[in-house]
Structure 1
Amino acid sequence: MRNRFPSLSLSSYGTGWSATRRIAIVAVAVAGLLALAVIVALMTGGGNGHHAPDSAAPAPTGSPSSSEAAPKPSSGSGSVPQPPQIAEPVAYAKAAAQMLWSYDTRDTSRAEQLAGMRAWMTTETKYADWASVAGQVPDPVLWSRMADQDQHATAHITEGHYPSAFKQALAEDPSAITEAYVYVVTVNGKQTLSWKKGGGGAEERAVTLAVQCRPNHDCTLAAFAPSVTQ
């Protein structure tokens, strides 16, 4: 049975979801970045689902409501790592992807997972698309069933880069970045999934993230999109 754990670090989150379910990222950024963000958010997602044992939870039929209240960052975030102090967009996006593609239901509750993820987000609500990130977390029932199977995942990042569309947009209007300082980065890697009785599987993964990196500040996560641009 195929089991998708939305891509939070949970990492299978939302792969293959229809483009219409993606919220346009950085919707209030300057025209050039806005256009690019919309393209990224609307592209079809890539990646395959996990192979899980018959006793594992089935694929989720839905995601948390976009109106779900964003949990406040807390030290009680289970296995979710704290955001790193990184000021370079690609490096931060790679760290964020690894966080999103890793999870452990054995010692982390769904609330802790959300709180841990929320700590990575930009505090500038004007540019933050929390719904696109929180939407990668399975609903409470599915999370509970995954926990019953001790389901957990780790990730290995192979590379990260600016998509050609983003580089072209910057080349055409270099000053566009200076309002929001939101960068679009595509990250590739591999996720390894494990569960009870020696069950497991692995898959290649790719995701496009929007990260905010203002000068003289550490980067933060702005949005997640289950899509890839070259």
Structure 2
Amino acid sequence: MRNRFPTLSLSSYGVGWSAHRRIAIVALVVTVLLTIAAAVAWLSGSGNAHRDPTATGPATTHSPSSSEAPAPKPEAGSGSVPKPPQITEPVAYAKAAAQMLWSYDTRDTSRDQQLAGMREWMTKEPTYADWASVSGQVPDPLLWSRMADQDQHATARVTEGHYPGAFKQALAEDPSAITEAYIYVVTVNGKQQIAWKKGGGGAEDRAVTLAVQCRPGHDCALAAIAPSVTQ
């Protein structure tokens, strides 16, 4: 059986959304794009089977962290988490955000620093920010500690990003609808490389759908992580 490598994996943790949060973000996109309701049929989270983090492989997790509270302040900066880029194009920003979310380094970054760094990528408009869907990618404190014991770290390579078909259709049918919140739905694909002590490591394909806000005259920002969209 092929190993499943855990990380701040979107495919692993998308199911961590509460029903309230999921309904809220879907309702938002429906408001902005009149026909996006049709896309809800193919919005679904997916879970992964994981192994014990004390084994020779990387640490794993079964559930997302508690994420309703604000991100903690970093102990000293944001560790290895990169700063959000100054990008005004939705697909380019989504690709950068996905690479950030798929990358981490427990050797020099605490869990609090990881969360604080990720929070910097979020839109500052609370109406559209679903922080729970993003912070839910980070394992709980105990699991992060076990990952750190293994020196677990990951890098990512993005292969492509695109607007899902339903989003493009909705936008074509009513181009002016986007002007309420300027939220774009982008699916990103890539590959994640994970390594840990004693030469351990592995790679896995990744895919995620992000809601990105790009208002005219402003840099883009992350609004939410959506369940998987494959079209």
What's the TM-score bracket when you normalise by the shorter of the two chains?
0.7 to 0.9
Contact in 1 for aligned 2:5/2:194 (Cα 8 Å): no
Tell me how far apart the structure 2 counterparts of residues 18 and 197 of structure 1 sit (CA, whole Å). Answer: 32
CA distance 1:148–1:122, change in 2 (3 Å): same
Tell me how far apart the structure 1 counterparts of residues 97 and 120 of structure 2 sit (CA, whole Å). Answer: 11
Tell me how far apart the structure 1 counterparts of residues 85 and 140 of structure 2 sit (CA, whole Å). Answer: 27
TM-score (norm 2): 0.85
Counterpart in 2 of 1:169?
A: 170
TM-score (norm 1): 0.86
Which structure 1 residue ranges, 5 or more long, are not aligned? none
The answer as to 2:159 corresponding to 1:158 is yes
- Residue aligned with 2:190, SS: strand
The answer as to 2:145 corresponding to 1:144 is yes
How far residue 78 of structure 1 moved from its aligned partner, in angstroms, is 0.2
- Residue aligned with 1:94, SS: helix
Contact in 2 for aligned 1:28/1:126 (Cα 8 Å): no
Counterpart in 1 of 2:79?
A: 78
Counterpart in 2 of 1:206?
A: 207
CA distance 1:3–1:141, change in 2 (3 Å): farther
How far residue 107 of structure 1 moved from its aligned partner, in angstroms, is 0.3
Deviations 1:166-215 (Å, cap 9, x if unpaired)?
A: 00010111111001000000001000000000000001111000000000
Matches within 5 A, 1:206-225: 206-225=207-226
How far residue 58 of structure 1 moved from its aligned partner, in angstroms, is 5.1
The amino acid across from 1:44 in the alignment is S
Counterpart in 2 of 1:5?
A: 7
Contact in 2 for aligned 1:46/1:228 (Cα 8 Å): no
Counterpart in 2 of 1:228?
A: 229
* Matched residue count: 226
CA distance 1:169–1:215, change in 2 (3 Å): same
How far residue 60 of structure 1 moved from its aligned partner, in angstroms, is 1.8
Counterpart in 1 of 2:13?
A: 14
- Residue aligned with 2:167, SS: helix
Matches within 5 A, 1:188-199: 188-199=189-200
- Residue aligned with 1:31, SS: helix
Matches within 5 A, 1:102-113: 102-113=103-114
Tell me how far apart the structure 1 counterparts of residues 91 and 56 of structure 2 sit (CA, whole Å). Answer: 38
CA distance 1:130–1:27, change in 2 (3 Å): farther
Counterpart in 2 of 1:31?
A: 31
- Residue aligned with 1:87, SS: coil
How far residue 72 of structure 1 moved from its aligned partner, in angstroms, is 5.2
Tell me how far apart the structure 2 counterparts of residues 197 and 145 of structure 1 sit (CA, whole Å). Answer: 15
Contact in 2 for aligned 1:209/1:224 (Cα 8 Å): yes
How far residue 6 of structure 1 moved from its aligned partner, in angstroms, is 3.0
Contact in 2 for aligned 1:163/1:229 (Cα 8 Å): yes
The range that moved more, 197-206 or 217-226, is 217-226
Which structure 2 residue ranges, 5 or more long, are not aligned? none
